Every structure is written in C-alpha cells, then in structure tokens.
Amino acid sequence: MSADRNTGPELPESRRRFYLSFIYGIGAVITGALTIPAFVYLFFPPKTQKSGDWVDATDLSKLTDNTPEEVVFRRNRVDGWKVTSEKATAWVVKKGADQVIAFSPQCTHLGCAYHWDDGTHTFICPCHTSAFAMDGKVLSGPAPRPLDRFEVKIDNGKVQLGPLERHA
C-alpha cells in the first residue's frame, strides 16, 4: 500500500530506475573502496618480514648424547613496531658429534609447555597428556603434528638456533 504513496507521481519509471541503480551502484563502489583497503590493512602481514637472526643457545660441550636438555637464551623478536629482546627456551637433543635437534618448547596441540620425563623417556605435555618421542614424533594424545623444530647450526662449538621450521 505504501508503494503507491511513495512513488512521486511526476517521476517516470525509467528515471526512477536510473536513480535507484546509480545510488546503489555508487554505494557499492564507495563501500568497496573502503572495505578492500581495510581488509588488506588488517589481514596482510607487515611488509618487511625479518628472518630471525641466528642466536647462540648453548655450548655443544654441555650436551650429552640422547639426553634432552632445556636451554635458555635471549633472542630478538619483532613485535609490531618494536623489536624486543626476550628470554626464550628450547629443548635440544644431541645426536652424535655434529648433529643437534632443537624443539620449540610449545606443544603442537595448544601451545602448553611440555617437559622431558626421564622415567618414560618421552616429552609429556601436562595440559592434555600429549606425548612425544625424543625425535619429536607424536606417541599419544591429541597433538596434531610432531614437535616444531628450530633450524640449527653448529659454529665453533656453539649451538646456534635460527628461525622455526614448522614440521609438516
């Protein structure tokens, strides 16, 4: 009923239709011109991705073969507009004379800190009882993938850690 009242009698239908499509069209263009940059701005990562520097984590001589050790070291982390120097930890396992594996200290399930259990010879997460073998493989529990590893290189008897490589 209201439609009749609302159409101006002097406004031809074709012109009315033109007005409407123009209004909605331009409305869509302006909305797009604002939401696309907004989306890009909020969801794209910052332009310069700083690849993490290599940091000394520990001395090779302090590690014994096949005994996981939790090491504490300092590393710089890019946090938005800041670079913060922060304490970080890693679980490192020496495998022979020149091979060291370093695990990120967070369970791959929900990010809890796990620990090495000497009795069962596994990494155990206290949150949801995920268990990992010494090589990081999932033994039991809800963890979806093996433990994440740091890139490792050994330089002059120092164990150096690089960026995290996500285990597939």
Q: CA–CA separation, 1 vs 107, rounded Å?
A: 64
* Window contacting another protein (CB under 8 A); options: 18-26, 57-65, 93-101, 143-151: 18-26
Instruction: Answer for the pair 165, 146: CB distance below 8 angstroms, yes or no.
Output: no
By CB under 8 A, tell whether 113 contacts another protein. Answer: no
Going from the C-alpha of 160 to that of each of 10, 61, 93, 97, 150, the distances in angstroms are 81, 13, 13, 15, 9
By CB under 8 A, tell whether 48 contacts another protein. Answer: yes
In the complex with another protein, the residue whose CB is nearer, 81 or 96, is 81
Taking the complex as a whole, the smallest distance from the CB of residue 40 to another protein amounts, in Å, to 5
CA atoms lying within 13 Å on the CB side of residue 154: 15
Judged by CB under 8 A, the residue of 27, 32, 126, 163 near another protein is 27
CA atoms lying within 13 Å on the CB side of residue 49: 4
Task: Summarize as ranges the residues that interact with another protein (CB under 8 A).
Answer: 2, 5-6, 8-11, 16, 19-20, 22-23, 26-27, 29-30, 33-34, 37-38, 40-42, 44, 46-48, 50, 55-56, 80-83, 85
